[in-house]
Amino acid sequence: MSSSLILSITTFLYGLSAVLYIGGWVFKKDGLGKAGTWTIIAAIAGNLAGILMRWAESYAMGYGRAPLTNLYESLVFFALCIGGVYLYIEFRYRNRTIGAFAAPLAFLAMAYASLSPNISDRIQPLIPALQSNWLIAHVITCFLGYAGFAVAFGASIMYLIRKRDPDRKSGILSRLPDLGVLDELTHQTVMFGFLFLSIGIITGAVWANSAWGSYWSWDPKETWSLITWFIYATLLHARLMRGWHGDRIAFISVVGFLAVLFTYFGVNLLPGLHSYA
């Protein structure tokens, strides 16, 4: 069995878990939610197995590289990070409704990687700029940060939806976690993401110096990473120093994740040192 087949099955499992979580939320069926948990656990296991198999396949082809170097591989790893961060959140907060908003993000990452005609899943040798021991540290920390922001985005959307029914009069909306829980979840996952994005930017700067002789070149990817960092730094400053809560924090979280998506996808269309992505 090839890594591509395992990752295709994983895409289906992420999609199925999203359907089960949404069904459990909408129809108030705890059994569907439990099935969603077991399905996303299977998806995470398949996701990890696919990455490890792809790594072994690259060694068998004589490349010997970590499968983290192109858009296809980064999307697959992004889905794994989202799934892992979400599963921790589910066990931490004992609430499966969050999966109705987090699992679809993991599924969309895998589906885009698998189905987009512009993305190739071929295993290719590393270009010179990527031949560095900093590769794994930089990519892992950045995508753990992105995953934290993705879950924060889901929690923020839940908060804004839940705010429409503060008195729990609507059947569907009343099943969402309390506003205080969602506000705290957004804060905690943003802090998690901010920590790892900061480490990712630092390791990327060190890597850039070894590859291109400069710690910072104002490349589009670098510039938008810094913009994203400032957006989330503003959120944390407003929360910790100004006492902001609720709607304002949720809106900044949504804007921050849009910046993450542009940093990840949009700047790849612009010429720059990261155009290989």
**DSSP class of 173:** G
218 burial type by CB count under 10 A (0-12 exposed, 13-18 middle, 19+ buried): exposed
Residues 71 and 166 occupy one common structural domain: no
Q: Is residue 124 part of a domain?
A: no
Whether residue 276 contacts residue 130, with contact meaning beta carbons closer than 8 Å, is answered with: yes
Residues 173 and 75 occupy one common structural domain: no
- The amino acid sitting at 255 is V
Residues 78 and 137 occupy one common structural domain: no
pLDDT band at residue 166 under the 50/70/90 scheme: low
Give yes or no for residue 20 having a pLDDT over 50: yes
Q: Is residue 248 part of a domain?
A: yes
Domain span including residue 148: 129-277
Residues 60 and 171 occupy one common structural domain: no
Q: What average pLDDT is seen over the chain?
A: 91
Residues 148 and 235 occupy one common structural domain: yes
> Domain count of the chain?
2
Q: SS3 for 161?
A: helix
Residues 21 and 137 occupy one common structural domain: no
Tokens of 133: 């021991």
Look at the pTM and tell me if it is higher than 0.75. Answer: yes
Q: Is residue 191 part of a domain?
A: yes
The pLDDT of 101-125, averaged and rounded, is 92
Tokens of 98: 């969050």
Give yes or no for residue 165 having a pLDDT over 80: no
CA distance 132 to 125: 13
pLDDT score at 273: 53
Domain boundary among 119, 144, 162: 119
Give yes or no for residue 186 having a pLDDT over 90: yes
- The amino acid sitting at 49 is A
Handedness of CA 153, 154, 159, 160 (dihedral sign): positive
CATH number of the domain within which 108 lies: 1.20.120
Give the CA-trace dihedral at 131, 227, 229, 202, to 10 degrees: 30
Q: Is residue 34 part of a domain?
A: yes
Residues 180 and 274 occupy one common structural domain: yes
182 burial type by CB count under 10 A (0-12 exposed, 13-18 middle, 19+ buried): buried
Q: Is residue 192 part of a domain?
A: yes
Give yes or no for residue 276 having a pLDDT over 50: no
Q: Is residue 50 part of a domain?
A: yes
Residues 66 and 188 occupy one common structural domain: no
Report percent pLDDT > 70 for the chain: 94
pLDDT score at 270: 57
CA distance 188 to 217: 32
Tokens of 250: 């949720």
Domain boundary among 119, 140, 161: 119
**DSSP class of 124:** -
Domain boundary among 119, 151, 180: 119
Residues 95 and 217 occupy one common structural domain: no
pLDDT band at residue 213 under the 50/70/90 scheme: confident
Residues 74 and 158 occupy one common structural domain: no
Instruction: Name the H helices within the chain.
Output: 3-26, 30-60, 71-93, 99-115, 134-162, 179-212, 220-241, 247-264
Give yes or no for residue 11 having a pLDDT over 50: yes
Residues 27 and 139 occupy one common structural domain: no
Residues 185 and 225 occupy one common structural domain: yes
CA distance 105 to 21: 13
Alpha-carbon 161 to chain mean position: 21
